[in-house]
Amino acid sequence: MNLTWHVVSKCGLHSSVEASMKPSAFKPKKALVITKVTRYEFEKRRFQDVSDEELRELLSRRGSDLDMLKQRHLVHKECEKRVVQALESHGIETKVAYRFDYTIASVKWADVIVSAGGDGTFLLAASKVHDSNKLVVGFNSDPSRSEGHLCLPKKYSLAVDEAVKKLCNGQFRWMFRNRIRITIAGENVFDQPVELHDQQLLAPEYRFLEDLPEQLQCAKAREMREGRDSPTHHRVLPVLALNEVFIGESLSARVSYCEISLDNGDKFKQKCSGFIFSTGTGSTSWTFNINKLTHQNVEKLLHIIEDEVPSVRLNKNDCRLIEKITARFNNELIVDPSEPQMVYTIRDPITMGVLPTPLDRKPRGFARSVDVKSRCVDASLVVDGSLSFRFNDGTSATLEVLDSDALRTIILHED
């Protein structure tokens, strides 16, 4: 899969921000390194009162190997150490923080936020950055076990000093990853969201925004003081989606039912297994895997084309042809992270019966803004696969891509 993007300067805020801060003028003095909680650390904290042998036995029953977890922990820590040493060797004051210590105040202190981990740690680092002037850079601490699409190329996991040198010398270009702003309206918009990864053991670094309930309560109190204490409240969520927003029934066996409007167009009702609204960044993730073709699909299509159109001569058993067609289709699913629009996907749309889908309504397309009204029974609006907000019948959401919400990242120059 080709993951090379053509990065161009967009009109509006992006180009003006680039002009105001040329790479050569960016001289960071303070760096905050956000490091992930490894699985080994998580298990040690969870079972503080047991011996290593007892922990080994507990993990073995779950099919996990304590020695392997410790080995991966050490690999991560070595990378974290290289990141800190490289930053300090270039005269940058550096602090290290776990998610527990990551605050808005620490974001304001730093000139650059550096993540040491995988894509989950990068999402954590980006979650509290709302200023498009604040740079976020990621190092993949264990490239042999994760792709780290949001991080710098894998070679810099070992060559950290080279990456930091290029950063300090301005040998890079800016890349702005657009994000999705979410405004919800309804009776329960101030309810505390569920942090989905609290229920998982493998990715504890995803569990961020411990201060979110306090933010929501403060916002609710402010609306009441301003005279808007009514059954319907409006709330701009204090988190931006860097990958995607999912809307659908919490129980996957239920049909999700919503009213949708794309770019202020006509509303239409749709039943399906869920709606996904992805950024260009997220187009390589969940959205990609939902929409991609497999070699099996392409091979079957070639057989059908040969049967239905005898005049078309195709070598349906040509593996290279199948691979070429599959790759071309799948590569075209990937969108530039700086594109000022969302990719929407109506997952498994129901097109029969009383809710026919017009031929011009595609299950996948693009929009800059989307309005969604829930007709669901027990639904959720999930941001980046982590924070789940209640989204039941009558609740509505507006999703927008705004230049001012873009995340500032970099692409290093290659020799």
Tracing tokens 């020695």 back to the chain, one arrives at: 67
Domain locations along the chain:
24-170, 180-284+335-405, 288-333
Rounded-to-integer distance, Cα 160 and Cα 114, Å: 12
What does CATH list as the number for 180-284+335-405? 2.60.200.30
pLDDT at position 355 over 90 = no
Task: Report the alpha-carbon distance of residue 302 to residue 313 in Å, rounded.
Answer: 10
Amino acid residing at 7: V
Instruction: Using pLDDT thresholds of 50, 70 and 90, give the confidence band for residue 212.
Output: very low
pLDDT beyond 50 at 279: yes
Summarize the confidence of residues 116-134 as an average pLDDT: 92
Identify the pLDDT of residue 413. Answer: 95
* Burial classification of residue 293, based on how many CB atoms lie within 10 Å of its CB (0-12 exposed, 13-18 middle, 19 or more buried): middle
Convert the pLDDT of each residue in 144-167 to its tens digit. Answer: 988 889 999 999 999 999 999 999
Same fold for the pair 24-170 and 180-284+335-405: no
The two structure tokens encoding residue 222: 């402010």
Which pair of tokens denotes residue 45?
């904290």
Task: Compute the C-alpha angle 176/179/183, nearest 5°.
Answer: 150
Characterise 186 by phi-psi region: left (phi > 0), alpha (psi -120 to 50), beta (else): left
Give buried/exposed letters for 156-168 (b at 16+ CB in 10 A, else e).
bbebbbebbebbb
Find how far residue 329's CA is from the centre of its chain.
Answer: 23
Query: Which of 17-21, 22-26, 188-192 ranks highest by mean pLDDT?
Result: 22-26
Q: Write the pLDDT tens digit of every residue in 62-88.
A: 999 999 999 999 999 999 999 999 999
How far apart are alpha carbons 15 and 3 in whole angstroms?
A: 24
The H or E element containing residue 297 is helix 295-308
Rounded (to 5) percent helix, strand, coil in the chain:
35, 25, 40
- CB atoms closer than 10 angstroms to residue 149: 17
Closest Cα partner for 12 from 280, 299, 387, 339? Answer: 339
Measured distance CA(195)–CA(193) in Å, rounded: 6
CATH class held by domain 24-170:
alpha beta
Instruction: Please give the model's pTM, rounded to 2 decimal places.
Output: 0.83
What pLDDT does 208 receive?
41
Q: Which of 20-24, 185-189, 298-302 has the lowest mean pLDDT?
A: 20-24
| Residue for token pair 């998610």 | 99
